[in-house]
Amino acid sequence: MSGPTTPVRIALEHVCTGTVAPLVAEGRRFTSAIGKRPRGEAVAVSALGLAGDEQADLSVHGGLSKALYAWPVQHTAWWQAQRRQRVASLFDEALSPGFFGENLGLRGVDTPLEEAQVFVGDTLHFPDAVLRVTEPRQPCFKFAAVMGYPQAGKDMVLSRRCGFYLAVVQAGTLQAGQVGELHPGPRGLSIAEALHAQRFKHLR
């Protein structure tokens, strides 16, 4: 499936950072920085991500190729509905920016931003920073823990509502309210296709 071949306008709705904190998942205690909080000011971004942001496990999050995690904000309502249905309507609160562990909440200005339309190698151009799409976010037990139901990882794979990781091409600053552009890259592999390639691994 091919996406747009011309730049697409995107709005940066929120910028979030977080620090490592305890997390209980599957009856065990871990550390995680999945709980992010929005920042109102401009935040410096360098090759390893946003200033003030932490990752608990650098083998799966962070580093040069996964310096930031971007989340299409239109997915939030769908995930909130899944959470309510799967956990007997115990979770009714709105899911706040940063809930999914994202650093950047993105919205397509003219059309929804979908994983099928975002490709590995595409670049996001903001007024003072440039980022490159590298790979989809993969489901993990920590995501299922914060969602509150064990099938959350399977839902991520089947729905392709996963978001994507970014490398930093040009360091600078990012701030909520900025408008940028998604510039097409080689268009060889979409984020949705890349996630689909992993589905049997995660659905066994």
CATH number of 196's domain:
2.40.33.20
Euclidean distance between CA atoms 48 and 166, whole angstroms: 10
pLDDT at 88: 64
The whole-number pLDDT of residue 85 equals: 85
Report the domain count for the chain: 1
Residue 2 covered by a domain = no
Quick one: pLDDT at residue 202? 46
Cβ neighbours for 53, distance < 8 A, ≥ 6 positions apart: 17, 18, 33, 36, 103
What integer pLDDT is reported at residue 126 of this predicted model?
98
Q: What six digits make up the tokens of 77?
A: 């309502």
Q: Is residue 3 part of a domain?
A: no
d(CA 189, CA 166): 15
What is the residue type of 81? A
Residues with pLDDT less than 70, the chain = 1-2, 25-26, 88-91, 199-204
| Host domain of residue 142 | 8-203
Position 199 scores a pLDDT of 62
Q: Is residue 1 part of a domain?
A: no
